Structure 1
Amino acid sequence: MKPVHQPESLGFDPKRLEYITDWMKRYVDGGKLAGTQTLIARSGKIAYHQSIGQADRESGLPWKNDTMARFYSMTKPITSVALMMLYEKGLFHLDDPLEEFIPAFKNMQVLRPQARSIEDTEPAKAKITVHNLLTHMSGMTYGFNEGVLGKHYDASKMDFGPTRGSLESQIEKLAEMPLQFNPGTRWNYGVSTDVVGRLVEIISGQDLKSYFHDNIFSPLGMVDTDFGIPKEKINRYATAYGADETGALMVMDPAGKSAFRKENVACYSGGGGLISTASDYLKFAEMLRCRGAYDGGQLLGPRTVDFMMENHLDGDLAQYGQAVFSEVSFVGVGFGLGGWVMMDPPLSQMMGSPGDFGWGGMASTVFWVDPMEDMTVLFLTQFIPSSHYPLRKELRSLVYQAMVD
């Protein structure tokens, strides 16, 4: 990890940065979170980096700066970058139909309006495109989402969990299910990025794990990022918690018996399968801030990164049927290729800058890059679900209030 610099030299008030430390301590001391970590960098230099609490309360393992955690949906921006690296080689077009790569997605069915059963369908009026997948406008969903299809996903265990089977087999199973709506008509958070991961495999000829390692992790020096936690690193791995009916912490996925142990991983989920650290993920986020550049090379072309971090919707997410997601208002927030795009901070009622880009994970993790302020922010904890506490909204106000230059 890079050294922490004097905050004043990077435009931060040290006393105001301590508000973030106090905030993390309140959550930990109040028994709401076991451990937390916040990292803020500006112009490539770290202005603030603190870890509070425990990675595993049962053993007393402290949360350290090198603690490893489940990043869940923060895998999605990485998978999106992987596909766009292939796009830069001219190997596909964003408007290509998905069925050209995976024939099982031909002749898709879509649920009728007010459908009460999974059989109440009609032929889809449009084909799923690659762009639909990258922007979550494919008609796919998640099992935790409301509605007939969400319940069907949940009952069918269509979640691309680490032990479900190969990515290829899970995609074939997914193709047998109807869509929530006609592709391109709405935004709905779902398993689209897992299909993006499968496209990476098909187009590149490599499995997703190998492609990530060879083309992203190795060039960026992300030595602790992988699908699954190896035995030799289990002593750095955090337990995932949730809250019981009284609000007390309860174990959801114990570190020592985690479903993400490397020997158990069968599915390389491009939508949520990666284990990583703050140090590693910072390298990926900084690559985005630097418009594809990193020490020693260029992962993506600058204009490709700009293109990904632009809003690809005709309006904000609220206009596309998603007013609130994971405790954050989506009014004034758009979506690019793999992450949110802040359009109008006052309209969103959240601190930020037009054009800031990022995403979070199910265990309440989040990151964003702010090109206007030349800043990268990363927050880690392991609490499921991410909608339980307003952590992301609070963190935004804490970060921006500390900036004095």
Structure 2
Amino acid sequence: MNDTSVARLDPARMQRIADWMERYVEARKYAGSAILVFEGGTERYFHACGLRSIEQGLPWQRDTVARIYSMTKPVTSLAVMMLAERGLFHLDAPLSQFLPAFADLQALVPGAERIDQTEPANAPTLHHLLTHTSGLSYPFNPGVLAHEMDERKIMFNPNQGILADMVDRVAELPLAFQPGAHWEYSVGIDVLGRVVEVVSGKSLGQFFAEEIFAPLGMSETAFRVPEGTGDRFASLYTPLAGDAMALNAAKAGGESLRLVDSVGDSSFETTDMHSGGGGLVGTIDDYMRFAEMLRLGGVLDGQRIIGSSTLDFMMRNHLPGDIASMGPQSFAEQPMDGVGFGLGGAVVIDPARSRTPGSIGDFSWGGMASTFFWVDREKDLSVVFFTQLSPSSSYPSRAELKALVHGALA
């Protein structure tokens, strides 16, 4: 993964990252974590600290396997665009062209207070789904649709059956708004995972394994904990009482690291759901290979995954302005001011308005267990951070980490 560049990251200043990570562990905010930083294709920094399992006293190590949750979304978005650049569809195609259950849709009327207060709606396009402007939602968002999804347990969890069946259940509900009217974080990328299956004739897991992970050398990333890595699978914790994903009913206080999921009884060890929105587990080195492919324009170690022009298109802002300008009501994992959205990740359009150091064009996303990555092609940086605490909104670690890395640039 090496290209020629002159190191600009100050090693002494990078040490501040280790101090910061260890403070999080000492304060019992995170059980353990790891960070990997590449500059110009060369590893400049790695640090791991704390535990992957408090109960067993096992250290967080470089080869620890973690749930990356929504960091699955950029992978699914890439798969969609790989098929698009083969001429198999265009992004303005309606979802109903691939999934007939989404024909004859309804959308909630503005200000609706009940799930039956609806009006006719057009099927969202693939582009709407890629950019979270489709009118779909998540059970942990506020609002009428989100509440109904929560009641019906529409969440794409690892043990909730097959993807096709869950997508059909999504289609039974109205949209939260007319497609394109707002930005709302949603299961849209999960639904697109089903489109990948229909168009490619492969399961989403098979498509990922054969067309993305194998060429990139990501041998320890999958929808199920890879065979032989179970002893390296990290436990998941939460500071909330009750369900770590039920944010509308979340209650804080008391123990800051409550065990949620661990090796031996985790649904990620027996997964049947291929959730393109949040189902992957993997190692930090594997995800860095994905991030480096993005930084390098779709190629890594001579293996081209996607055209450079297609990838440039993905990493541009596809919204009329920033996310904040589209009236979002949904759960937020990172700033919405000064930040737009591309195909699969957030795009910085004004670092000052985002109130976080960065470059225009930074491409990033994170996961519910507080994992995070970003690619800064202006500064030739790829950064991946792994930990396992849900929800990701618990602490401002992402903004703090970006400040630390940018503070180390000469």
Work out which of the residue numbers 342, 360, 365 in structure 1 matches 2:366. Answer: 360
Work out which of the residue numbers 49, 61, 64 in structure 2 matches 1:64. Answer: 61
| Structure 2 equivalent of residue 384 of structure 1 | 390
| Structure 2 equivalent of residue 43 of structure 1 | 40
After superposition, what is the alpha-carbon deviation per residue over 1:135-190, rounded to whole angstroms, capped at 9, x for unaligned?
01110000000011111111111011111111001111110011000001111000
| Structure 2 equivalent of residue 271 of structure 1 | 277
Q: Distance in 1 between matches of 2:330 and 2:94?
A: 29
Q: How does 1:285-304 map to 2 (within 5 A)?
A: 285-304=291-310
1:260 aligns with 2:268: yes
Work out which of the residue numbers 13, 16, 19 in structure 2 matches 1:19. Answer: 16
Q: How does 1:202-281 map to 2 (within 5 A)?
A: 202-244=198-240, 245-261=253-269, 264-281=270-287
Secondary structure of the structure 1 residue equivalent to 2:228? helix
1:175 aligns with 2:171: yes
Q: Distance in 1 between matches of 2:328 and 2:373?
A: 20
| Structure 2 equivalent of residue 89 of structure 1 | 86
The alpha-carbon deviation at position 322 of structure 1 amounts to 3.0
Q: Show structure 1 runs of 5+ residues with no match.
A: none
Which has the higher mean CA deviation after the structures are superposed, 234-243 or 322-331? 322-331
1:342 aligns with 2:342: no
Q: Would the alpha carbon gap of residues 355 and 332 (structure 1) be closer, same or farther in structure 2, given more than 3 Å must change?
A: same
Q: Distance in 1 between matches of 2:384 and 2:102?
A: 36
Count of aligned pairs between the two proteins:
396
Which has the higher mean CA deviation after the structures are superposed, 240-249 or 100-109? 240-249
Work out which of the residue numbers 300, 316, 335 in structure 1 matches 2:322. Answer: 316
Q: Distance in 1 between matches of 2:354 and 2:65?
A: 32
Q: Distance in 2 between matches of 1:154 and 1:327?
A: 19
Structure 1 counterpart of 2:272, one-letter code = A
| Structure 2 equivalent of residue 162 of structure 1 | 158
Q: Distance in 2 between matches of 1:329 and 1:322?
A: 12
The alpha-carbon deviation at position 324 of structure 1 amounts to 8.5
Work out which of the residue numbers 15, 22, 29 in structure 2 matches 1:32. Answer: 29
| Structure 1 equivalent of residue 245 of structure 2 | none
Q: Distance in 1 between matches of 2:169 and 2:334?
A: 32
Q: Would the alpha carbon gap of residues 300 and 231 (structure 1) be closer, same or farther in structure 2, given more than 3 Å must change?
A: closer
Work out which of the residue numbers 373, 381, 391 in structure 2 matches 1:375. Answer: 381
Q: TM-score, normalised by structure 1?
A: 0.95
Q: Would the alpha carbon gap of residues 98 and 30 (structure 1) be closer, same or farther in structure 2, given more than 3 Å must change?
A: same
Secondary structure of the structure 1 residue equivalent to 2:82? helix
1:110 aligns with 2:107: yes
Check whether the contact 1:32–1:247 (CA below 8 A) recurs between aligned residues: no
Secondary structure of the structure 1 residue equivalent to 2:310? helix
Work out which of the residue numbers 134, 137, 141 in structure 1 matches 2:137. Answer: 141
Q: Show structure 2 runs of 5+ residues with no match.
A: 241-252
| Structure 1 equivalent of residue 247 of structure 2 | none
Check whether the contact 1:327–1:390 (CA below 8 A) recurs between aligned residues: no
After superposition, what is the alpha-carbon deviation per residue over 1:293-317, rounded to whole angstroms, capped at 9, x for unaligned?
1112211111000000000011100
Cα RMSD after superposing both structures = 1.5
After superposition, what is the alpha-carbon deviation per residue over 1:80-132, rounded to whole angstroms, capped at 9, x for unaligned?
001111111000010001111111101111111221211111111x3310100
Check whether the contact 2:102–2:171 (CA below 8 A) recurs between aligned residues: yes
After superposition, what is the alpha-carbon deviation per residue over 1:45-65, rounded to whole angstroms, capped at 9, x for unaligned?
011100010000100110000
The alpha-carbon deviation at position 255 of structure 1 amounts to 2.3
Which has the higher mean CA deviation after the structures are superposed, 149-158 or 242-251? 242-251
Structure 1 counterpart of 2:312, one-letter code = D
Check whether the contact 1:224–1:276 (CA below 8 A) recurs between aligned residues: yes
Q: Distance in 2 between matches of 1:397 and 1:220?
A: 29
Q: Distance in 2 between matches of 1:127 and 1:57?
A: 47
Q: TM-score, normalised by structure 2?
A: 0.94
Q: Distance in 2 between matches of 1:165 and 1:314?
A: 37
Secondary structure of the structure 1 residue equivalent to 2:20? helix
The alpha-carbon deviation at position 259 of structure 1 amounts to 1.5
Q: Distance in 2 between matches of 1:238 and 1:251?
A: 11
Secondary structure of the structure 2 residue equivalent to 1:10? coil
After superposition, what is the alpha-carbon deviation per residue over 1:228-260, rounded to whole angstroms, capped at 9, x for unaligned?
114521110000000142252110112221121
Structure 2 counterpart of 1:302, one-letter code = S
The alpha-carbon deviation at position 337 of structure 1 amounts to 0.5
Q: Distance in 2 between matches of 1:10 and 1:52?
A: 25
Secondary structure of the structure 2 residue equivalent to 1:272? coil
Q: Would the alpha carbon gap of residues 322 and 114 (structure 1) be closer, same or farther in structure 2, given more than 3 Å must change?
A: closer
Check whether the contact 2:369–2:388 (CA below 8 A) recurs between aligned residues: yes
1:151 aligns with 2:157: no
**Structure 1 segments of 4 or more deviating over 4 A?**
none
